[in-house]
Amino acid sequence: MLHLNRICTKHQLDSTAQNLVTVSPQSQHTWIQLVNESKDSHQNPVKQIPSERAIARHEVREIEQRHTVDGPRQDVTLDEEDDVVIIYNRVPKTASTSFTNIAYDLCAKNKYHVLHINTTKNNPVMSLQDQVRFVKNVTSWKEMKPGFYHGHVSYLDFAKFGVKKKPIYINVIRDPIERLVSYYYFLRFGDDYRPGLRRRKQGDKKTFDECVAAGGSDCAPEKLWLQIPFFCGHSSECWNVGSRWALEQAKYNLINEYFLVGVTEELEDFIMLLEAALPRFFRGATELYRTGKKSHLRKTTEKKLPTKETIAKLQQSEIWKMENEFYEFALEQFQFVRAHAVREKDGELYILAQNFFYEKIYPKSN
């Protein structure tokens, strides 16, 4: 099951209401329903004063009234510039929270909407029926366009569902060993984003080096297999660890289905290119990243870099070789795009101005 929560709208919902919205369009109407409680809320109940709860319900009720079957529903007409959806199917531990918070910081100013795709147990593979629901949500929910959707879900081919206009996919990937090390310590020590939250492996003091030396499951080469399936998609072979077909499909999708894929190590350049190419969403993003308080928002609280011996042992794995091949492929493509979009002067990168124009236009107008 999936929920769409933490929504930034043109009218900015109260923060207490942002986590209470899920979408399920039926017939020609878009319904906005109040999510009572999730499993997480049973495990970690959050206290909320009555006045805040009343405000949250009031905000959601107002939205419900605008989109229910009571009375005629006004059709929303979108300009071509606004009929745009971006999907950021973020890979865990690739600086995705830092980047996503830039989208949240800019959404009111740039007048677009941000929606978090919250899947049950963070499962990156949707059921077939949820795939249909999600595609309908994204394509038919005009009130949320232009929209920026983000979540830990694998690539989904919208063309399979017969939609007329596909979303724009973007993503960021990271050196596979660095990503795994970061995730390993994140599960044990958390980060500075939500320091009080108890993590699944909290209390386990074993270092990553010790885990690899002991042949532990949390640091096994199989745990490296994540970025390839995220780009490969919802086919069963994508999640077959070590599949050469999955690697080639991930490469194909990166080139043909993604507008831009950056790397964590060069995140600022990724943001700069997005601002130049998609200013409707990312105008002001580069400056915000450089100066804003949330630029490096999420840092794992305690992390020890692995030794050369540990790295060498992981690099003997065929799984690492494939994940690293994909990473190098993505890095080469990103650097190619960047080389044709920017110029360096005095150590600074500058976006190139338009380098084409039209001429010899016939027939001549009077």
Cα separation, 251 vs 248, whole angstroms: 5
Domain boundaries, the chain: 2-172, 173-351
Q: Which fold, 173-351?
A: Rossmann fold (3.40.50)
Give the helix ranges, DSSP H, for 234-317. 244-256, 267-277, 279-282, 285-291, 308-314
Residues taking part in catalysis: 150, 152
pLDDT of residue 3: 74
Does residue 114 contact residue 148 with C-beta atoms inside 8 Å? yes
pLDDT of residue 51: 47
pLDDT of residue 201: 56
Residues found in the chain: 366
Give the helix ranges, DSSP H, for the chain. 39-43, 50-66, 96-110, 128-140, 176-189, 208-214, 227-232, 244-256, 267-277, 279-282, 285-291, 308-314, 318-339
The per-residue pLDDT string of the chain (366 residues; one tens digit each, 9 = 90 and over) reads 777 776 775 444 433 334 434 444 443 343 333 333 344 444 444 444 444 444 445 544 554 454 444 444 556 778 888 999 999 999 999 999 999 999 999 999 999 999 999 999 999 999 999 999 999 999 999 999 999 999 999 999 999 999 999 999 999 999 999 999 999 998 887 654 454 444 455 557 899 999 999 999 999 999 999 999 999 999 999 999 999 999 999 999 999 999 999 999 999 999 999 999 999 999 999 999 999 765 445 555 567 899 999 999 999 999 999 999 999 999 999 999 999 999 988 888 889 999 999 999 999 887
Partner residues linked to 26 by β-bridges: 29
pLDDT of residue 281: 98
The dihedral built from the CA positions of residue 118, 119, 121 and 122, taken in this order, carries a sign that is: negative
